[in-house]
Chains A and B, each alone.
Chain A
Amino acid sequence: MASVRLENLRKEFGSVVAVKELTLHFPDGKFAAILGPSGCGKTTTMNMIAGLETPTRGSIYFDDRRMNDVPPGKRDVGFVFQNYAIFTHMTVAENIGFGLKIRGVDEATIRREVGKIAELLELTDMLHVNAGRLSVNDMQKVALGRSMIVKPRIFLLDEPFSNLDAAFRAYMRGELKRIQREIGQTMIYVTHDQVEAMSMADHIAVMDFGVLQQFGTPDEIYNQPVNLFVANFIGSPNMNFIPCYFRSEDGRGYLVQKHGSARILLDDRRRQLLERHPGNQDLIWGARPEHLTLHAEPSRPEYLQATVRFLEPLGSKTVVHLELGDQDTIKVIAHPSYREKAGTTQWIEINPKYLHVFDAKTGFVVR
């Protein structure tokens, strides 16, 4: 196993910059995810780690060895492709054993190793099936097995579950996580699906437009987003953003809504922080729908008044869409039994612990 370190990695395709000065360290034996919308450079990064693309600048290290000039086949990296890239003209067993076969391993050993992998992935019954006839789910397993058999130091997975059906995807997430834990494999996983990244990864690198936005544990990413992009990208339904400005009155600090009158009282730490912040007249506060609570009565003065517009019942919860002030809408997660009609006035309670304040100009969180 090995750790992966990227230093000022840059990739240009003609005039397009796919990856901009990326510096990252994926620790040994951990499960890391690169998360971002399509076209953010995550697959390019992955391909550079694998050696399928040559970086324009910068270095790639596995442990302490610089890998830039090592050809892909010699990097000892397992790669699972989004479309699995199964060899459809071979049987399952031949697919899984391919890596060993081209290394000149003898038949008996190949058979034994393939057997082991097949057992691990529950493929034993179909070893002699033509791989082109497999279901998508089984192809996925074969692709995993084919990469696993050569015991790579680093395992790269490019959106491996995006074609699977929902139930099997959930199952495979668990399986992959289990396998990763069991063998302590360094895994790097590219996905645009935040749920996948959040549920599986030890570390998540969020990317956009070829730039690393944030690198941290799922908890950090979720609870301490560093900028608007990360805050918006993570979480479903996504975070509420309300444009506001800072107002100090009688030694108390408030965030006042720009398109309305909603005011949020700030604690002292935040007040001091914002007082010193030069752009404090152009801010955005953000709060996740799941951190807001609805009340029928304004039992406490800091509750914000809002009007219900419509409900979005999701079964296990209901997303309530409300109007806050003139233009802003705000989403709140409520209990599934929530039944208020459109037009009803409701009072929103904000947990100050989960309130994020961003500079509207730079997009960065104020801290």
Chain B
Amino acid sequence: MNQRPTWQIVLRYVLVLIVVGLFTFPTYWMVSMAFKPKIEWSTAHGTIYWTPQDPTLENFETVLTEYRGKFFRANQSSALPSIRSSIIVSIGGTLFALLIGTLAAYGLSRFSVDTGDLPWYIALGRLALLILVLLPFMVLWAWLGIIRYWYGILSFTLLGIGADHLIGRLLALYYRGPTDSLAFSILQLRMFPPMAIVIPVMIMWSAFKLIDTWYGLVAVYGVVTFPFVVWLMKSFFDEIPRELDEAAIVDGASNWGAFFKVVLPLAKGGLASTALFVFILNWSDFLVALLLTTRDWPTIPVFLNSLVSSEIGAQHGPKAALGLLAVIPPVVFGILIQRYLVRGLTFGAIKR
């Protein structure tokens, strides 16, 4: 192409610097705050400190150790348990999501005639029918008093799944078109504000005694993030030619053999990126952990929130230090998988 005139090159450079500067500044502010001693935290003394004048690790120390009556509440616990909690539930949730998501993705990639183009009135109509059929049973189960126990919920859910199948068959008799679509429901699940379904989930989790346990959070994280796994892994599987599976099967492998020995190793890179991506999502969650944990397993964001909303003083430094600790893993992983970030966040719709 033609050389650009110098002024254009300079102008672009200036613009890039301004833009990158603006977008980096808030992060920078947190990072610098994390290393500032107390006196530099705010402008209370009339000056603002753009850089830590007297860098210190005191804030990290404060937030990572138990302090009695010094900074926050009378008895401030350290952030270490919440860091441990974040690590465990994020990894667990990621593995769970990968397990169910990868299988479904392969199924959708190879065998699906699922167009995913489900009209809303069918989706809603199906749901409405289901609710009409099941509501009396719900009341009955409630009257029987069994639904507060795990077996009550389980039996009710099995009944519901049966009813759902019947309704699907029934609809298919009268409506020529897709009446169900796994791909669509998975995507649709992402559209709902999680807040809208959190009350009954809390009820269910308390029935299963899953509230404030690591496995309870792992289960929710797995379910919440597996749509991403499905769409992301489907896009990776779609890139692997179908002929390879067929060749493996012709050579005597079983369907499962073709999947585990041929396709999955080829999608290894994609699987790793997906894992990191889902880890970032789980790690970043605040809402689910806020509602489903109380004392034992709050994650870092929940702990941070408790610090922020605590009444005692503007403890900027320790909070920023905790924020910095919370931000390091996702930023590092995010940079590692930057090629796939777009693909992940657009459900595989944009591939580059």
Contact = CB atoms under 8 A, between A and B. Distances in A.
Tell me, yes or no, whether A and B come into direct contact in the complex with CB atoms closer than 8 A.
yes
Interface of A: 51-54
Contacts of A54: 2-3
Contacts of A51: 2
Q: Which 7 A-B pairs have the closest CB atoms?
A: A54-B2, A54-B3, A52-B1, A53-B2, A53-B1, A52-B2, A51-B2
A53 B1 CA distance: 5
Nearest to A72: B2
A51 B3 CA distance: 12
A52 B3 CA distance: 10
Interface of A is mostly: loop
7 contacts: A51-B2, A52-B1, A52-B2, A53-B1, A53-B2, A54-B2, A54-B3
B2 to A, nearest CB: 5
Chain B interface: which size bin?
under 10
Contacts of B2: 51-54
B9 to A, nearest CB: 15
Interface string B1-17: 11100000000000000
A51 B2 CA distance: 8
Contacts of B3: 54
Contacts of A53: 1-2
B157 to A, nearest CB: 48
A291 to B, nearest CB: 47
A51 B1 CA distance: 9
A20 to B, nearest CB: 21
A78 B106 CA distance: 49
Nearest to A54: B2
A52 B2 CA distance: 7
B3 to A, nearest CB: 6
Interface in B1-57: 1-3
B153 to A, nearest CB: 52
A54 B3 CA distance: 8
A54 B1 CA distance: 7
A242 B2 CA distance: 47
Nearest to A47: B1
B335 to A, nearest CB: 30
Contacts of B1: 52-53
B1 to A, nearest CB: 7
Nearest to B2: A54
B63 to A, nearest CB: 53
A138 to B, nearest CB: 29
Interface string B54-67: 00000000000000
A48 to B, nearest CB: 11
A18 B335 CA distance: 38
A360 B2 CA distance: 41
A69 to B, nearest CB: 11
